[in-house]
Structure 1
Amino acid sequence: MLINILNYLIMKKSVFLIIFFFSITILRGQEKDTLFFNLDKYYTISPTIISNLINKNYLEIIELQKKLMSHTNTNGYIYFIGDGFLTKGLKPKKVQSIKDYVENRKFYLDGKYNKIVDEGKLRDSLTDKYKIFFVSGDEFISPRVLEYHSYYPLREGDKDIDNTIKDTLYFKLDNDYVYKPEDGYKSKYISIDYLIRDNSKDEVFFFKELEKVKALKPREVLSLKDFIRSSRFYDENKSHKLKEMYLMKFMNDYVIYLVNNKKEYLKVEPSVVIED
């Protein structure tokens, strides 16, 4: 009887040790490397370091953005909110410029000319991957929110000014996946020129035709179906498979042409309407 009890206790202790070391291994695997960045007063904007930032109205924010843009010569800036704690006593081996880190082709949208930061790439390769500290003297600020904010569209009077430096994407107008509905299609709010098959009932992604152009020479005409279904905006395993709003935001950072079988190039503008 005593031997059985001892064997039981030994086995229980062994199981506990296995679980303990397994848990430690998982926690170590979840640890992130740390990056330290300088605070750039024109590129890193935060209510944590700028007094009364949250009290500024829309027009004041626009003026602030114009001032930032004149100094940074970029399409946007880093916005963060600190976690409420100031850490001291850290000894970073290297403190980097976050502007230099972010503003390189690694984080830009795909293309030859784009200098527009892809927020998805930034999340995957920076904000979700590393523990980040901003260095202010001997104090270290860890952000609980860190985002990239684009200046565009800029507000000028009653007009919106969009970023004009964009790469171009050409998609085949195959009348199967992307198509012009017979007799047109109208939502409750807007006339729609071209639809796609992956729309949900509540959110409708569509293209508005702007103009017809001839004699363009695209290097490649893509399948819109393949492009969308292989993107991060589409998940086959979800009931609402397509993130229409995110797709629209992404595609608005490109010049888009639909190419029909007459070799006409239809310049289009992506948009989304939410149906009641």
Structure 2
Amino acid sequence: MTKKDILNVILLLTITFTLTAQKANMDTLYFKFNKKYIKRGEVNKNQYYLKDKSNEGDLFFIKRSILDNLKPKEVLCFKKFIRSSKYYNFSKKKNQRLDGYRLWEYLDKYIIFFILNIDGRHVYEEVKINYVIE
């Protein structure tokens, strides 16, 4: 192995460890799943959509994994979280109140779990927020 190869391996390992450390340090948000506010996709059952619509694009969540036995410190109401934030505007037209892009920018920095109650037990679905411009 040449010195150049060794330096490339060291650089690759450094980048890998840095990216892993950044992901490990992400904060986690837990939201109680509200069937009236969050709807499962009709075509793709691994997608969730909000009752509130975004103004210029489509905001949705994709299920990534299912976990059990998590111990969240705080569980938030997703609808209250959205409607009390700067990403929701009560003065706009009824169908264009949510600033989906800015909400996506904010929540994309977090690990997000929806907490569902299935057969009397809590199920934690890790989801990833997505935004598509129409």
TM range (shorter): 0.7 to 0.9
1:220, distance to aligned residue in structure 2 (A): 2.1
Q: Return the match for 2:88 from 219, 230, 234.
A: 234
Which residue of 2 is the match for residue 209 of structure 1? 63
Q: Distance in 1 between matches of 2:97 and 2:84?
A: 12
Higher normalized contact order (CA 8 Å, seq sep 6+, divided by chain length)? 2
Using the TM superposition, give the Cα deviation of residue 166 of structure 1 relative to its aligned residue in structure 2, in angstroms: 1.4
Residue by residue, what CA displacement relative to the aligned partner does 1:126-174 show, whole Å, maximum 9, x if unpaired? xxxxxxxxxxxxxxxxxxxxxxxxxxxxxx7xxxx58311111101112
1:177 is the counterpart of 2:31: no
Work out whether 1:251 is the aligned partner of 2:110: no
Contact conserved, 2:54 with 2:99, CA < 8 A, in 1?
no
Per-residue CA deviations over 1:223-248 (Å, capped at 9, x if unaligned) read 11100000011111012311101100
| Equivalences, count | 110
Return the alpha-carbon distance in structure 2 between the equivalents of residues 184 and 210 of structure 1.
13
Contact 1:209 1:269 in 2 (8 A): yes
How far has the Cα of 1:201 moved from its partner? 6.5
For 1:218 and 1:195, the matched residues in 2 are separated by 23
SS in 1 for 2:76: coil
Q: Summarize the Cα distance change of 1:258–1:221 in structure 2 as closer, same or farther, 3 Å threshold.
A: same
Cα shift readout 1:250-273 (whole Å, capped 9, x = no counterpart): 001111000111211100110111
* TM-score where L is the length of structure 2: 0.73
Q: 1:243 to 1:249 in 2, by over 3 A?
A: same
Question: 2:79 and 2:43 mapped to 1: Cα distance?
Answer: 23
Say whether the 8 Å CA contact 1:173–1:259 is kept in structure 2. Answer: yes
Structure 1 segments of 4+ aligned residues over 4 angstroms from their partners: none
> TM-score of the superposition, structure 1-length normalised?
0.37
CA distance in 1, matches of 2:82, 2:109: 15
Give a deviation string over 1:17-60, Cα, whole Å, max 9, x none: xxxxxxxxxxxxxxxxxxxxxxxxxxxxxxxxxxxxxxxxxxxx
Segments of structure 2 that go 5 or more residues without pairing to the other structure are 1-14
RMSD: 2.0
Q: Check whether the contact 1:168–1:254 (CA below 8 A) recurs between aligned residues.
A: yes
Calculate percent identity across the aligned residue pairs: 34
Contiguous gaps of at least 5 residues in structure 1: 1-155, 186-191
